[in-house]
């Protein structure tokens, strides 16, 4: 009796071991291998793939780009402007130029920003930025679709071929350094399990999959996040007069900033930050009422604070005596006469920042690592900065013969980018909070500060240099 039970147990154990062995063998057969897998084929993820594809160091590396959206083929420039745009700074333009995407953008369409004027609705304080000779733009306004279309064009003709998998999304990520069911996985590489059942093993997984990053979640990288309880209303605006439209306008209202970003001589892109209820209202009202609301937000003086204005007059007079000619001349913003059909939309605003951008065999870039308020237009530029830095770090790893997924060099990327990104996030978050009130003492302090900076040319040059990096 005891012997039969023993034999039966041995058979069961042998069957389990055989099944485990067969399953392991099948997994080994079915899995595909790559040196680098990039999750997310948006602007930042696609540019990461392009940056590697045009670098000779990665000529013998297998790179896979996973994009959940379908392949749209070669990008065709639409007649109408898109309502989602970016303000690309000079550093981003330089990065895109290294693999030809900026040249593609210039052949399609983009609009230079040669001057920027920012002013407060609660006082007469303002600040204006421009390059001294006005020949070099502060930035270029480009539609998101144009940027991505240009990058994908370059990716298709890259010297190092990238395996771009459209309509491919991950079901799960199995990361060696992350405990699973209480135990660390013994598999040496990251295993990506796709929705269609395919398995993909990689030495390095790059998460470029947005603010709700699945890679960040699977890697158990802690993130700090909060909602601003605001929404950004976007639209394409038609201006009253066809002029040399190269000025970016931004006015701070108590509910949030409203900005006009130039698209052409006749059109500008609207980014209006306001409360969720007001955003919903702005999307529902007729076009004529919407145009009236936009013009009113830019021109009205209902928020003016008498005490702040008196303080500004005194400070301005004092500064003009100390720094003659330092104060920039105020220009009047354009009048809006129409809005492109079906261009109105809105999206919620939040701050997201990962405490760490890396762990062994994993790196985060773009919104997966950080997402910030759009008031300064720096979000996507930070993402492109991540691409440039990570490319350089991986290039050094290849030169030294290191493992691409080694934490030693990935930490270099994290350190460099956090030193750059954190001050930007903190500054923009602070500005958002500073300008989200009409409390008189705060209005006076911020108004005096804005007018003072506007009078100090050297300080404005420094700000421009930091925003361009």
Using one digit for the tens of pLDDT, what is the confidence trace for 384-419?
A: 999 999 999 999 999 999 999 999 999 999 999 999
pLDDT digits (tens, 9 = 90+) for 250-286: 999 999 999 999 999 999 999 999 999 999 999 999 9
pLDDT of residue 202 exceeding 50? yes
Give the whole-angstrom CA distance, residue 234 versus residue 237.
9
Give the whole-angstrom CA distance, residue 172 versus residue 160.
28
301-310, 361-370, 431-440: least confident range: 301-310
Whose structure tokens read 């603010």? Answer: 211
Give the whole-angstrom CA distance, residue 377 versus residue 260.
12
171-185, 400-414, 419-433: least confident range: 171-185
User: Confidence class of residue 300 from pLDDT cuts 50, 70 and 90?
Assistant: very high
pLDDT of residue 9 exceeding 50? no
pLDDT of residue 135 exceeding 80? no
Q: Which of 80, 351, 423 is nearest to 238 (CA)?
A: 80
Q: Is 112 exposed, middle or buried (0-12, 13-18, 19+ CB in 10 A)?
A: middle
CA 156: distance to chain centroid?
A: 23
187-191, 395-399, 415-419, 463-467: least confident range: 463-467
At residue 452, the pLDDT reads: 78
CB atoms within 10 A of CB 292: 13
**Would you call 380 helix, strand, or coil by DSSP?**
helix
Give the whole-angstrom CA distance, residue 269 versus residue 246.
12
| Neighbouring residues of 361: CB distance < 8 A, sequence distance ≥ 6 | 175, 176, 177, 189, 190, 202, 203, 204, 205, 405
On whether the CB atoms of residues 425 and 372 are closer than 8 A, the answer is yes
What 8-state DSSP symbol labels residue 56?
G
Give the whole-angstrom CA distance, residue 22 versus residue 71.
36
pLDDT of residue 367 exceeding 50? yes
Which residue intervals of 173-227 are DSSP H helices?
A: 214-218
* Of residues 318 and 371, more confidently modeled: 371
pLDDT of residue 11 exceeding 60? no
pLDDT of residue 10 exceeding 50? no
At residue 325, the pLDDT reads: 54
Pairing of strands 256-262, 336-339: unpaired
Whose structure tokens read 């830019």? Answer: 298
pLDDT digits (tens, 9 = 90+) for 68-86: 999 989 999 999 999 999 9
At residue 180, the pLDDT reads: 53
pTM for this entry: 0.88
Strand partners, 190: 202
At residue 236, the pLDDT reads: 97
On average, the pLDDT of the chain sits at 87
pLDDT of residue 133 exceeding 50? yes
Pairing of strands 63-67, 162-166: parallel
Task: Give the pair of three-digit tokens for residue 450.
Answer: 């804005």
Inter-CA distances, 411 with 327, 389, 416, Å: 44, 12, 9
pLDDT of residue 184 exceeding 80? no
At residue 26, the pLDDT reads: 38
């Amino acid at each position: 009796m005891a012997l039969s039970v023993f034999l039966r147990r041995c058979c069961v154990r042998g069957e389990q071991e055989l099944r485990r062995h067969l399953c392991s063998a099948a997994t080994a057969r079915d899995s595909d291998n790559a040196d680098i897998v990039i999750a997310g084929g948006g602007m930042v993820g696609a540019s990461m793939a392009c940056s590697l594809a045009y670098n000779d160091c990665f000529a013998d590396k297998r790179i896979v780009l996973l994009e959940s959206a379908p392949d749209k083929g070669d990008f065709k420039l639409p007649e109408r402007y898109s309502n989602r745009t970016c303000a690309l700074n000079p550093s981003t333009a330089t990065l895109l130029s290294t693999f030809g995407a900026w040249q593609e953008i210039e052949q399609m369409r983009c609009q230079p920003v040669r001057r920027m004027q920012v002013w407060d609705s609660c006082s007469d304080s303002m600040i204006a930025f421009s390059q001294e000779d006005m020949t070099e733009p502060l930035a270029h306004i480009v539609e998101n679709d144009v940027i991505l279309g240009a990058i994908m064009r370059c990716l298709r003709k890259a010297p190092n071929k990238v395996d771009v998998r459209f309509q491919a999304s991950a079901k799960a990520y199995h990361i060696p350094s992350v405990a699973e069911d209480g135990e660390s996985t013994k598999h040496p590489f990251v295993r990506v399990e796709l929705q269609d059942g395919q398995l993909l093993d990689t030495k390095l997984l790059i998460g470029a999959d947005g603010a709700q990053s699945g890679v960040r979640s699977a890697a158990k990288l802690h993130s700090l996040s909060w909602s601003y309880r605001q929404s950004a209303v976007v639209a394409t605006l038609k201006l009253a007069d066809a002029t040399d439209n190269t000025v970016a306008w931004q006015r701070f209202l108590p509910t949030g900033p409203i900005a006009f970003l130039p698209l052409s001589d006749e059109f500008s892109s609207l980014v209006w930050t306001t409360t969720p209820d007001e955003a919903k209202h702005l999307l529902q009202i007729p076009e004529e009422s919407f145009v009236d609301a936009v013009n009113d937000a830019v021109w009205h003086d209902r928020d003016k604070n008498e005490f702040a204005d008196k303080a500004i007059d005194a400070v301005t007079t004092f500064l003009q005596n100390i720094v003659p000619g330092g104060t920039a001349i105020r220009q009047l913003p354009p009048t809006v006469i129409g809005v492109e059909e079906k261009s109105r939309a809105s999206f919620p605003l939040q701050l997201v920042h990962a405490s760490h951008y890396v762990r062994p065999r994993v790196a985060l870039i773009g919104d997966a690592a950080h997402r910030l308020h759009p008031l300064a237009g720096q979000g996507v530029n930070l993402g492109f900065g991540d691409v440039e830095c990570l490319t350089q770090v991986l290039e050094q790893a290849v030169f030294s013969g290191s493992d691409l997924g080694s934490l030693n060099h990935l930490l270099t990327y994290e350190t460099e980018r956090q030193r750059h990104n954190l001050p930007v996030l903190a500054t923009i978050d602070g500005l958002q909070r500073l300008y989200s009130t009409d409390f008189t003492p705060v209005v006076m302090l911020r108004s005096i500060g804005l007018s003072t900076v506007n009078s100090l040319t050297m300080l404005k040059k420094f700000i421009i240099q930091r925003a361009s990096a």
